[in-house]
Chain A
Amino acid sequence: MKLSLGITVRDYSVSNGVTYDADALAYFTANTAITSTADKNAINTFYLGLKSDGIYTKIKAMYLPIWGSAATCKWNLVNPLDTDAAYRLVFSTGFTFSSSGVLGNGASSYIDTKYNINGIGTSNHGAVYVQTNIDGGYNEFGAATAVNVLVFSIGTRNSNISYNGNHVSNSSLSYSNTDGKGLYINKRESSTTGYKAFRNGTLKATDSSSYGGSINFNLYLMARNVAGSSIIAYTPNKDSFFSFGDGLTDTEVGNLSTRINTLMTYFGLNTY
């Protein structure tokens, strides 16, 4: 006779008598601006949700820049070490930090993730939560081999159209959008499956174009890195969340959207 106990092994750590997910605790340890138990509980729930959804291991980097300074917003929640190799952010001058996000100046401010997106290749996703509604030729994240050649990017609203680049030469995925606020996700699952753009958890557009080649440059946030030699599309928007990593299924995009929006709702930052 066999006895099955059905035990699921999880990685928990204890801080001040409270049990947190080990990765959440590492983030709380690095980011000393997080002092509220309620905030920690909400973020801990976010980690646990991503793990139960099977999404967490697909995320290479994610950021929650709502802590009021560069020093507190720089941490990669997946690997909160103060190193380039851990994709800890570094910020140019020009940003304004607050509890509702990081605000670009639209002229010179950008963030270097130290994340060479050649590393995510043919299966990828990028996500950004935007707090402001501004129309213009801006990118909330971007990297490109040349200005409009192979591009990985999201632009929320340019003449009422959202543009999403995902490694297709001289082409991007677009859809009508009159409100720049919200959660934007751009994802591709393989070199041949095309790519899709989502807003607020809803599929907005699909393109069947195959992967056109790698972009061997760091991903910048709130602007577009053009071949490591110039920067364009500096955004004047305010952003409160970013993530990047492997490709996600449509269901996983829906789950990730729900998890992020739940976290934003806790902080009073949800736009939908």
Chain B
Amino acid sequence: MEGRIVTNDQAEQLQGVFIDDDTFFNFVQDINGVYFLFLSEQDEQDVAQTEYAPLLQIPLSPYTPPPTPPIP
């Protein structure tokens, strides 16, 4: 899986910020604590219309999720 790497400041400033009436950013950390942004193609079209469009210029990088506890 691939996503866009953002800085800690970007993630903290934009976490939970709405890009339109119905959709908000959610950044997650990889196994090394690096913040990633995952956008679907529909998200990309929506983001392109906003002030956050520069995020789309960030190249895609491979993502390794952090280990998770057993989830029954």
Interface residues of A (CB under 8 A from B): 69-71, 74, 82, 89-97, 105-110, 137-139, 147-148, 155, 158, 163, 165, 172, 174, 224, 231-233
Contacts and interface: CB of A to CB of B under 8 A. Distances in A.
Interface string B55-72: 000000001010011111
Contacts of B36: 107-108
Contacts of B23: 70, 90-93
A163 B26 contact: no
Contact of A107 (B18, B24, B38, B71): B38
Given A69-B42, A109-B38, A94 B26 contact: yes
B19 interface: yes
A94 B71 contact: no
A95 B71 contact: no
A90 B20 CA distance: 10
B72 A93 contact: no
Given A105-B40, A108-B28, A93 B68 contact: no
B54 to A, nearest CB: 15
Interface residues of B, number: 28
A232 B66 CA distance: 11
Interface of B: 1, 3, 18-28, 36-43, 63, 65, 68-72
Given A93-B19, A108-B38, 20 more contacts: A90-B18, A90-B23, A91-B22, A92-B26, A93-B23, A93-B24, A94-B39, A105-B40, A107-B38, A108-B3, A109-B38, A137-B70, A137-B71, A147-B69, A147-B71, A148-B69, A155-B72, A163-B71, A224-B71, A232-B71
A62 B62 CA distance: 36
A96 B38 contact: no
Contacts of A138: 71
A108 B26 contact: yes
Nearest to A138: B71
Contacts of B1: 105-107
Given A93-B38, A93-B43, A95-B40, A109 B26 contact: yes
Contacts of A174: 72
A48 B68 CA distance: 43
Contacts of B21: 71, 82
A107 B42 contact: no
A107 B71 CA distance: 15
Contacts of B20: 70-71
Given A91-B22, A92-B26, A93-B23, A158 B71 contact: yes
A232 B28 CA distance: 11
A81 to B, nearest CB: 13
A105 B42 contact: no
Contact of B38 (A82, A90, A94, A172): A94
Q: Which 10 A-B pairs have the closest CB atoms?
A: A92-B26, A137-B71, A70-B22, A108-B28, A96-B40, A163-B72, A94-B38, A108-B38, A93-B43, A172-B72
Nearest to B71: A137
A74 B22 contact: yes
Contacts of B40: 93-96, 105
